[in-house]
Chain A
Amino acid sequence: MLRIENLHAKIGDNEILRGVSLELEAGEVHAVMGPNGSGKTTLAQVLAGAEDYDVTGRVLYEGQDLLGLSPEDRAAAGVFLAFQYPVEIPGVGNLYFLRTALNSVRRQRGLDELDAIDFLALAEERMALVEMDQSFMNRSVNEGFSGGEKKRNEIFQMAVLEPKLAILDETDSGLDIDALRIVANGVNALRSPDRAMLVITHYQRLLDYIVPDRVHVMAGGRIVRSGGKDLALELEEHGYIGLEEQAGADRSTPVGATP
């Protein structure tokens, strides 16, 4: 479903991604772990179409060149990013925003728009997945939401938009254990054979709840190790220390190689 080949991204002279390669099949959940500053969030942002970066390399999504698409076209094609820091948008109601988004996506997919009543029925059903209630649906997008509410709102949006490729950027950060369980349950409910997920996290904790098929470790803007779910436990034990030097030392070797 997703093939990333030698992806580089920089802002000005600051090269943040230094040749990332990764493959993800439909139905799979891959975790991307790594220390702060390793490029995890940049990878997520670049895949969603953020325009702040100079990007080179190739990303194939369902056989098409993802980097050539605008963010909205990527969304219409089924890409979704759950933001690490969801943006507050004062004055735009949460439900209104989401209905606008869903109908934009449906239009671009050649589907009929949902009217307010059908949309509300859908929204109410999906809200239950992340234990949200009507009260914060009528508030402005993310405005005044707690950290946990913001993350639940991201997963709720994902549940409504039904992407094929979901990228979750540190969805666990800032969550207490109850909120983490709610968010993880929501994500697990959305796992399906047609959907792939890239779960970016700093901590192994989230992966107790969302069990990945594979784990990739990023350091210094590259993937320095890949393995099964046990790799996360190993990292939890030994930490990220040493990985950055490894990234430096490996700079000349083919990217994505497993040491």
Chain B
Amino acid sequence: MAITVQIPTPLRRLTGGISNVTCSPANLGELFSVLDQQFPDLKLHLRDEAGEIRRFLNIYVNEEDIRFLGGARYAFQDGDEVLLVPSIAGG
């Protein structure tokens, strides 16, 4: 089972320019562990000092906000595409 994670432009300087990561985490917690291991500099950009997901970071799975899928309880499926997206203003 594998999922792909897209790294947004502002964070690519912390991933050595890598824009796509393929990995096999079971859930969001494991995904963060994978990213932490591969890109130690990324850690504090995704979660605050208390380990909570940063307030203005949105995580999408196949175009759906992960909070509608159960958030941290969501079990990744093979082929899931994960997006990390900053909040965007209204219109």
- The answer to whether A and B interact is no
A residues with a Cβ closer than 8 A to B are none
